Structure 1
């Protein structure tokens, strides 16, 4: 009680105390040392025996929910991408290249603004800096990776390969629904903290909430990608980026960065294996066999679909465990 007095004084229910203990490594085995059957039972006793700070609790309960000032920030990537798309459609030659470069820089700034505000912002700025590089590579591959892979498979590239900005437009437009999905997920999960009777009850309620959030975002992303003609690789990439951001926001940035890095490494390996097969070294021609088999069957777009889809499924499996813990949803 002395060690965790501040946590118990600020808590508004026993589950918040349990979440704090869980975040510090408490398990049911640890609770058994204090003659309690589980962490929630121990938290209930601490909550009952430590007096609240009524003035702080009252202020927290009476504070109205602020109007979302981040709504404009999450709309900025879609607006910038749409303007860049229009500029590319209306220009030619060097002017088109300049418009594309300016649009890419403006879109990068808009994305940075979107993840620095609102529900996509990591609390305390706790992120892995390298994750930005991995995300940029995945977005760049969505624009030009399929064309580059097709050129490499046919002995090129001899000139600038075909770029497809459609997936980038759809993903940029999907930032706004992704932010709202993350907002709804966080708000409903925190509401479950007050309604649940224990940690297991909370986990059972949050898992379908997480799956529903991901499904809702995928439906919105599919609707936005359909007019652009983007393939399933962009949908898989959108799912990967959403899950990575949810894990980052809720305190697991290292796992999110590792998944993004693995997806980048797989895409680089696919290109490198084809290029390495050109070396006049016995046996190196077999390096390109897996990539050629996949592309011959389903086309170059199958590589990012498989890579990002596998990474997204891995993150989803991890998130169903880590984001179902009450400690992932405590308010800083």
Structure 2
């Protein structure tokens, strides 16, 4: 099946409003002139010379001409916001039944078809060679920086830390740019800012919160090297799991006989891949904690899940939900810290009481676990809905 699906109107993921206005008017005309009904698999009779399917094919002529399978047309209609309820107004039981008729009628409408100037390419843009090795760069850079920090002290230690942070940032950028999580969609600066804040909190937030609850901070506090090492090492399984999902989902496109069947096969794949990544992430965090003789940073695990789901959605063009959830998690963590310091003001001790009680009972890691875990849960539900659509994979993304 073609991975180069083109549609007549800009795609608006997750929004029925993505369908163009003239097609919306066509549906209204069909409802007024032909009424609603459900097809039983045979071509229904047209009333008064009205052929709504033919008119719909004219509106989406390029999509019909380039399609090599009914599911490709169904995915394009789905991307335009056409639902089973809309298909019923064209006297079809669902979107796939409507797409089957459109696909079957294309060869018989030779007088109305305009051949494309050049045959469309059926090749999917492949991930650049060596991406699996690029995935190892962030963990390697962080591991070398961690060793350097153990062997130095004073100003040299500070220099090694700053150099290591820069090396990890460059390695991560290379891994994302040339790996399965690469994205051609614009990422707003606010998204990057929230990601940087969440990572900084994973490194320094727990120590600062613990010191603040104890009446400090009285001086500098050490970053959580175990969290940094575990997250950087987890970049490799994250990229490998995403590759497994994208290839598996595209492979199910030509095998499915309808949108519902495709969704039913892709959703378990997505959940399985996420579970596989979470298992690998937890093993790496436990290992990093054992190296530094500290408990596994659970907050870093929740952050890793949030970052993966955010980047996965962004690579498929869904950028709004990641921004909202990253912002919500960051605001929750910042609010927890601010409430502890605000509680020192006269008469404001009640502001810090909830956070201080929770930290004393369960430790400072509770804050990122709750904040990032809740945001990751919302993104997981959103991903299971939007990434199980055929239209999300028909153009070969990511």
Higher CA-based Rg: 2
Partner of 2:350: 286
Matches within 5 A, 1:174-189: 174-189=234-249
Q: C-alpha distance in 2, partners of 1:140/1:10?
A: 48
Partner of 2:194: 134
Does structure 2 conserve the Cα–Cα contact (< 8 Å) formed by 1:207 and 1:320? Answer: yes
SS at match of 2:253: helix
Deviations 1:6-27 (A, max 9, x none): 2222223211211111111111
Aligned partner of 2:335 among 248, 269, 288: 269
Query: Shift of residue 28 of structure 1?
Result: 1.7
Deviations 1:157-214 (A, max 9, x none): 1210121111111111111111111111011111111111111111111111111000
Work out whether 1:241 is the aligned partner of 2:307: yes
Matches within 5 A, 1:138-287: 138-229=198-289, 230-280=296-346, 282=347, 284-287=348-351
Q: C-alpha distance in 2, partners of 1:144/1:64?
A: 40
Q: C-alpha distance in 2, partners of 1:114/1:48?
A: 44
Q: C-alpha distance in 2, partners of 1:67/1:249?
A: 16
SS at match of 1:92: coil
Work out whether 1:21 is the aligned partner of 2:77: yes
Deviations 1:12-54 (A, max 9, x none): 321121111111111122222322221111111122222498x
Matches within 5 A, 1:45-194: 45-51=101-107, 56=119, 60=122, 68-122=129-183, 124-194=184-254
Q: C-alpha distance in 2, partners of 1:56/1:9?
A: 10
Partner of 1:318: 382
TM-score by length of 2: 0.78
After superposing the two structures, state which structure 1 stretch, 35-44 or 84-93, moved more: 35-44
Does structure 2 conserve the Cα–Cα contact (< 8 Å) formed by 1:148 and 1:162? Answer: no
Aligned-pair RMSD on alpha carbons? 1.9
SS at match of 1:119: coil
Q: C-alpha distance in 1, partners of 2:358/2:127?
A: 50
Q: C-alpha distance in 1, partners of 2:351/2:213?
A: 12
Q: C-alpha distance in 2, partners of 1:64/1:130?
A: 29
Larger helix fraction of residues: 1
Does structure 2 conserve the Cα–Cα contact (< 8 Å) formed by 1:153 and 1:274? Answer: yes
Does structure 2 conserve the Cα–Cα contact (< 8 Å) formed by 1:128 and 1:254? Answer: no
> Would the alpha carbon gap of residues 191 and 56 (structure 1) be closer, same or farther in structure 2, given more than 3 Å must change?
farther
How many pairs were matched up? 326
- Segments of 5+ residues of structure 1 without an aligned counterpart are none
Does structure 1 conserve the Cα–Cα contact (< 8 Å) formed by 2:185 and 2:314? Answer: no
